[in-house]
């Protein structure tokens, strides 16, 4: 991650130092490199600063590097430094999209002024980009959290309410219920300018965990030949998503608790305290309180993370969403694989509704892709224990019909009973039986 405002690439050491000193006098954070190859391979599309590069460099030249950057992020301002003989080349580069060029020798005040203008342009572009992403996320909520069941409707509303609030969030749910999708959506709606950084706590060896999450300095341990920015520091200004938090080693839980309380970190091998501003979204499929009682998870970390909880329902508890989800996933797969989606027959829907979906939404998505490809495996091919009774399937369908009719009639019981041609008392009994929440609008 690049944590400076300006990257200066100049092979002449005196010129490079002069640039850095000029910017330092104007309180602009800058870092210098002798060659393009020395610049960290960070995602420049997320870089909030600008690049200053000499045209003539050893290895990759400045204009070739500009072409690479332009392909990844056309809005990234690049200033080129040129000698007297390269003026025509620099002018052509500006026609190609370079922000500006500075001819050697140049006054430090002029250099700093050009850089400042470029930084202001970059700041404006990044703010516009952030607002566009936020607006797109708001408009895209129904296509990202798909479903019409009461549980999903309430989940969408809660996500929209929580997103702009900087509090940490705990997401509970079985495997495949969409915990990372919800975490990403919370971040996209939050308006936070930093990145979304995901870490699977169960996918890292304990020996690498500390370096991965906190980072390290050169020489911190055997093999640490380069400085590494940890996940927490990389998430500065954004969101840190800790998946399978129950798998985090106990020794790391103590250190994470301190970071959450003080919002500072220290890289391995360093005594420097680095302030960090990030939001934590943790996810788990386990009962952390029970694990804490068993001594397998720190209770103080559990209470620190468990400020706001989002519980994602398993797919078997919202079967009314299965037809809509399946159709959505089939069409998604069709676009991705460039195929015509086949018609979804009623028998297919019946088989989908009768399946128990132990893998939840992820399993349904995989089945949709198999269906598109014409593969024969699918719900009903598994063991009979995965199926539900006819009574359960009928009840699920009835619950779905009642919810849809209530929604259509804006929660009005009388109109709903009339539309369904049943007595009002019968409707009340079924609402209690299926624990349907009524919202009048």
DSSP H or E segment with residue 369 = helix 360-373
* pLDDT attached to residue 378: 65
- The mean pLDDT value for 203-212 works out to 82
| CB of 59 closer than 8 Å to CB of 38 | no
* pLDDT attached to residue 151: 87
- pLDDT confidence tier of residue 143, bands split at 50, 70 and 90: low
- pLDDT confidence tier of residue 367, bands split at 50, 70 and 90: very high
User: What three-state secondary structure class fits 158?
Assistant: helix
3-class SS string, 327-357: HHHHHHHHHHHCCCCCCCCHHHHHHHHHECC
Q: Per-residue pLDDT for 280 more than 70?
A: yes
Over its C-alpha atoms, the chain yields an Rg (Å, rounded) of 28
Q: Per-residue pLDDT for 383 more than 50?
A: no
Q: Which fold has domain 390-433?
A: Arc Repressor Mutant, subunit A (1.10.10)
Residue 24 to residue 4: CA distance in whole angstroms: 11
Candidate CATH numbers 3.10.20.30, 3.40.430.10, 3.40.50.300, 1.10.8.60; the one for domain 316-386: 1.10.8.60
Would you kindly state where each structural domain of the chain is located, as residue ranges? 6-134, 143-313, 316-386, 390-433
Q: What is the pLDDT of residues 292-316, one digit of tens each?
A: 999 999 999 999 988 899 999 999 8
- pLDDT confidence tier of residue 386, bands split at 50, 70 and 90: very low
Of residues 148, 173, 144, the one with CA closest to residue 245: 173
Q: Per-residue pLDDT for 141 more than 70?
A: no
* pLDDT attached to residue 440: 59
Q: Per-residue pLDDT for 53 more than 60?
A: yes
Q: What is the mean pLDDT of the chain?
A: 86
% of the chain with per-residue pLDDT over 90 = 40
Could you tell me which residues are beta bridge partners of residue 242?
199, 282
Same fold, 6-134 and 390-433: no
Give backbone dihedrals phi and psi of 101, rounded to 5 degrees, phi first: -130, 150
Candidate CATH numbers 2.60.120.10, 3.40.50.300, 3.40.50.2300, 3.10.310.40; the one for domain 6-134: 3.40.50.2300
Query: Domain 143-313 has what CATH class?
Result: alpha beta
Q: What is the pLDDT of residues 3-20, one digit of tens each?
A: 789 999 999 999 999 999
Tell how far CA 329 is from the center of its chain. Answer: 20
* pLDDT attached to residue 251: 86
* pLDDT attached to residue 244: 94
- What is residue 436's DSSP assignment? P
């Amino acid at each position: 991650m690049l944590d400076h405002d300006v990257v200066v690439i100049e092979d002449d050491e005196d010129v490079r130092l002069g640039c850095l000193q000029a910017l330092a006098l104007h309180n602009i954070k800058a870092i210098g490199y002798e060659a393009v190859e020395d610049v960290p391979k960070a995602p420049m599309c997320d870089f909030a600063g600008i690049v200053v590069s000499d045209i003539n460099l050893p290895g990759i030249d400045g204009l070739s590097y500009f072409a690479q950057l332009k392909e990844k992020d056309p809005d990234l301002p690049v200033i080129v430094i040129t000698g007297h003989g390269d003026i025509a080349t620099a002018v052509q580069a500006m026609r190609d999209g370079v922000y500006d060029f500075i001819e050697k020798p140049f006054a430090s005040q002029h250099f700093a002024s050009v850089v400042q203008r470029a930084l202001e342009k970059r700041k404006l572009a990044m703010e516009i980009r952030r607002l566009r992403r936020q607006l797109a996320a708001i408009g895209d909520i129904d296509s990202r959290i798909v479903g019409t069941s009461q549980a999903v409707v309430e989940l969408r509303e809660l996500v929209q309410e929580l997103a702009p609030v900087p509090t940490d969030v705990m997401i509970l749910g079985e495997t495949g219920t969409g915990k990372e999708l919800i975490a990403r959506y919370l971040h996209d709606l939050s308006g936070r300018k930093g990145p979304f950084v995901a870490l699977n706590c169960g996918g890292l060896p304990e020996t690498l965990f500390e370096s991965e999450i906190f980072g390290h300095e050169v020489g911190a341990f055997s093999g640490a030949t380069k400085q590494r920015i940890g996940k927490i520091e990389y998430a500065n200004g954004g969101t840190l998503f800790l998946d399978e938090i129950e798998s985090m080693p106990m020794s790391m839980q103590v250190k994470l608790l301190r970071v959450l309380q003080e919002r500072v970190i220290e890289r391995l091998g360093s005594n420097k305290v680095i302030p960090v501003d990030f939001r934590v979204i943790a996810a788990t499929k386990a009962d952390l309180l029970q694990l804490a009682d068993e001594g397998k998870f720190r209770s103080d970390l559990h209470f620190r993370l468990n400020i706001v909880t989002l519980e994602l329902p398993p797919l078997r508890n919202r079967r009314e969403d299965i037809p809509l989800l399946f159709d959505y996933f089939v069409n998604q797969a069709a676009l991705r694989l460039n195929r015509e989606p086949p018609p979804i027959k009623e028998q297919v829907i019946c088989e989908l509704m009768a399946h128990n979906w132990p893998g939840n939404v992820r399993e349904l998505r995989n089945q949709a892709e198999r269906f598109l490809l014409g593969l024969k495996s699918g719900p009903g091919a598994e063991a009979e224990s995965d199926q539900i009774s006819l009574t359960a399937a009928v009840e699920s369908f009835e619950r779905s019909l009642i919810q849809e009719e209530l929604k259509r009639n804006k929660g009005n019981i009388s109109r709903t009973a009339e539309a369904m041609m049943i007595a009002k008392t019968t409707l009340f009994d079924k609402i209690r039986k299926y624990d349907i929440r009524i919202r009048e609008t």
